[in-house]
């Protein structure tokens, strides 16, 4: 399936990291499989989260299309470092396995304009995780993170210092009430 041009949304038919949907009102224990992915690192202020992530996903889609690499999964953001002002992230889109990763990296380097750093190939986070569903606007996602934190504290679960957001529906704007996000906390 070819990639959409820049600014066009990803096909809904792309697979999520875990095929079985979660219970909308509960936490699921899942195993995240490692998947090849195109990755772009970035940072943003909290108020710029949605536009920054949308731009990163659009750039990845465009560069994958130019390089002839097939995206297969839903967009993912891995939040590596956060503070009161903003966050550092890795935007990822899972791709079909690439037989020659060095040649593919070369194609991506040729396709990329260099804005915001290089696009690279890597692997999605993997391992035992807890999946917390978020349905509703991005403005309301803090409530899901508060529930997540309370759950981890109540169950005395220790997780890695990063969270993963997988956008089951396209990230359009902060107020989109139909947004569906899987939030994963990787268990230590």
Phi and psi at residue 45, in whole multiples of 5°? -80, 155
Per-residue pLDDT of the chain (188 residues; tens, 9 = 90+): 344 444 445 555 799 999 887 776 778 999 999 999 999 999 999 999 999 999 999 999 999 998 889 999 999 999 988 898 999 999 999 999 876 666 666 666 665 554 557 889 999 999 999 999 999 999 999 999 999 999 999 999 999 999 999 999 999 988 899 999 999 999 99
| CB environment 11-34: b (16+ within 10 A), e (fewer) | eeeeebbbeeebeeeebbebebee
CA 127 from centroid of its chain's CA atoms:
16
Report residue 14 as tokens.
């792309």
Q: CA dihedral defined by 123, 95, 88, 176, rounded to 10 degrees?
A: -140
Neighbours of 131 (CB within 10 A): 23
DSSP-derived secondary structure letter, 95: B
Contact between residue 147 and residue 140 where contact means Cβ atoms under 8 Å apart:
no
**pLDDT tens, position by position, 111-120:** 555 455 788 9
Q: Hey, which CATH number is domain 28-187, 3.90.550.10, 3.40.390.30, 3.20.80.10, 3.40.50.720?
A: 3.20.80.10
pLDDT of residue 26: 79
**CA nearest 25: which of 136, 101, 106?**
136
**CA nearest 74: which of 92, 87, 50?**
92
Question: How far is 27 from 33, CA to CA, in rounded Å?
Answer: 18
**pLDDT tens, position by position, 136-159:** 999 999 999 999 999 999 999 999
Q: What is the CA radius of gyration of the chain?
A: 16
């Amino acid at each position: 399936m070819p990639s959409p041009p820049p600014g066009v949304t990803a096909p809904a038919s792309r697979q999520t990291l875990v095929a079985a949907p979660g219970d909308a009102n509960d936490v699921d224990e899942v195993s995240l499989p490692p998947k090849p992915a195109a990755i772009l690192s970035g940072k943003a202020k909290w108020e710029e989260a949605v536009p920054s992530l949308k731009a990163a996903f659009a750039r990845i889609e465009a560069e994958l299309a130019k390089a002839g690499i097939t995206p297969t999964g839903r967009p993912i953001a891995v939040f590596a470092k956060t503070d009161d002002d903003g966050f550092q992230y890795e935007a990822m889109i899972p791709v079909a396995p690439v037989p020659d990763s060095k040649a593919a990296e070369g194609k991506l380097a040729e396709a990329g304009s260099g804005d915001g750093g290089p696009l690279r190939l890597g692997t999605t986070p993997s391992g035992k995780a807890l999946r917390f569903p978020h349905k509703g606007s991005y403005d309301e996602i803090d409530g899901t993170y508060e529930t997540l934190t309370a759950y981890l504290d109540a169950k005395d679960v220790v997780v890695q210092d990063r969270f993963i957001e997988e956008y089951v529906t396209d990230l359009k704007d902060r107020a989109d009430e139909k947004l569906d996000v899987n939030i994963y906390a990787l268990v230590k």
